[in-house]
Chain A
């Protein structure tokens, strides 16, 4: 049997988050095979019946997925519960997502959900029930001795989800298990098939579980439509009109609604104050770097070391969106943890609101990250 790298040594009490997908199913399977005392939990975060949307779609938080989670738990003989986190999900994820789009940002709700709900609420509830460890089906790894745990990319480069987990603290990593992080997706499917789990052949979930159509439509439905406005170029010349800034993302090329250009045009900026979408050729997306706020540095010693060495700068690889390979940057980290990044050799399109996650120069260990600001 293939085992997880961060395989626990003794029997532990673990809450495993079951989404109803194959990854978390196999996470539970592996932990069960290792003999741990498990409970399986699905998190009720969004009621499609109240909000319309993707109830028919197979995503990670649709009610039909709970049925699959329940079946997997039953086959593995793991007690299974649904925890209701709807109100905190609404407040901490949905409201922030909608507000952010309405202000011209492109937020990443999965990061918020992991930090605040999955590893916030779930961990608290688990603790109440006497379970200190939380396991999920994320493709990421935790390595190192107690007290100096490191968060690493998952082995499977296509599936790596460490990007979504930068908000974790080193202290929490000791109580976090990612059983599939050392496996590839095909290996995970093999294990599920061999164990006869109903989720073995299940399709991949989407990036944002609560959005079925476009993010813009969702924002309009929940938060109201933003007014139409002008599309201009950098100099302010009006090129057309848009149907609300919440429908646009910096770097977007398709669906801008302006044709007849010889070279492709991109959304290069969104100005919420003037309600304008600014477009231009690709080179206008180029920036020297970017700033991040709401940072988290996984190992606080990193800041202490920097301060002690008097080193003003740190070399790192910045991943600025999901499925971005990462580019070299030089980081300048303030005493309070805020940070600016400067591109070294190549630049990448920056969308304010997205998470920027910083890895070591080998592009394996997550150092920390934050939300990109203007």
Chain B
């Protein structure tokens, strides 16, 4: 039987073949807080992993890397403003963020804060103007993701943070860099952000680990209190194997970036070209914006995206409709709606996201099965 093909890498990349299981599951590693050598070894392994993750976003040694349970926790930590801070203050954010951000901002509103939402323009573009216009309210924080998880769109984080700083903005800039890591040359300094959120398993580490990378901010409020781990910002014994795997994955995707990007582009472009040739009415969302190379958001008018997901699963291929949601409740994607798609169009949209390890024959198989499924679903409708 054919190996299951992960065409849903934006949901989870799966453990990279380059991970070294023997060092991830080293039986010498005990509690990193322990004084004995079992603790020392684990602590050292974590600190080495921290360096690798720091290098993934540039190698400024002043950057703090706080390991968390994942990017959701990292974003929650970044946006954890207590009511006395939130009350009457403003956060500016795009409307196409991950649910982790949207929910954290709802909590900010509940605590008396105000959120100024910035929607994309007709061609998904984000201009500086709405961000600059909000400066009159002296925002506490401006948030915009680096790369959208559903469409692969690259947002102009560097341009907007630079414009904000030029206009005298002194508040915080947060960016969800989960889908940017491993897919572009990520530079904390270049983005001009104060905080970046990262996820381990989206770049091929084990699930259950993420990080908030912090530049110049000293007022972070921990979400989890207890022991003094992670600079007193995240209590609890560290996820040693997860963190080590994160370090290994970070190092691997950084060192192999160029040829992986070329591979991504080849895979995606071939698929988009062949599918568009077979179905000329296919809509490639964000085709005319800057995108990362591994993500394809395709609309097949008249096809129920959820049926397409099931049909491809039965063919041994994992894809997704909108963002991952196991509950079976298909709400049209807020990202696609924000980009101007009608609800019915959004419901006919699937996301294909490649791993760099996908083989040519796997790509050909995916193209064939995707095409056959679209054709059959249209015939059955």
Residue ranges of A at the interface with B (Cβ–Cβ < 8 Å): 39, 42, 44, 47, 79, 81-84, 86, 125, 127-130
Contacts and interface: CB of A to CB of B under 8 A. Distances in A.
B329 interface: yes
A128 B380 contact: yes
Given A128-B377, A128-B381, A129-B307, A44 B314 contact: no
A81 B381 CA distance: 20
Given A39-B314, A79-B313, A128-B380, A84 B307 contact: no
Contact of B304 (A81, A86, A128): A128
A47 B329 CA distance: 10
Contacts, number: 34
A77 to B, nearest CB: 11
Nearest to B376: A130
A47 B377 CA distance: 28
Given A44-B328, A86-B329, A79 B314 contact: yes
Contacts of A83: 328
B330 interface: yes
Of listed A79, A84, A127, residue having the most chain B CB within 10 A: A84
B311 interface: yes
B327 interface: yes
20 contacts: A44-B328, A47-B329, A79-B313, A79-B314, A81-B310, A81-B328, A82-B326, A82-B327, A83-B328, A84-B328, A84-B329, A84-B330, A127-B380, A128-B307, A128-B380, A129-B307, A129-B310, A129-B311, A129-B314, A130-B380
Interface of B: 304, 307, 310-311, 313-314, 326-330, 376-377, 380-381
10 closest A-B pairs by beta carbon, nearest first, are A82-B328, A128-B380, A44-B328, A84-B328, A84-B329, A128-B307, A81-B310, A84-B330, A129-B310, A129-B311
A125 B328 CA distance: 14
Contacts of B313: 79
A253 B377 CA distance: 53
Nearest to B327: A82
B22 to A, nearest CB: 29
A44 B327 contact: yes
A359 B118 CA distance: 64
A208 to B, nearest CB: 22
Nearest to B309: A81
A127 B381 CA distance: 9
Contacts of A47: 329
Contacts of A128: 304, 307, 377, 380-381
A105 B313 CA distance: 45
Nearest to A124: B380
Given A86-B329, A129-B307, 11 more contacts: A39-B310, A42-B328, A44-B329, A47-B329, A81-B310, A83-B328, A125-B307, A128-B307, A128-B380, A129-B311, A130-B380
A162 B134 CA distance: 65
A50 to B, nearest CB: 11
B376 to A, nearest CB: 7
Contacts of A44: 327-329
A129 B306 CA distance: 11
A86 B328 CA distance: 10
A42 B304 CA distance: 18
A39 B313 CA distance: 11
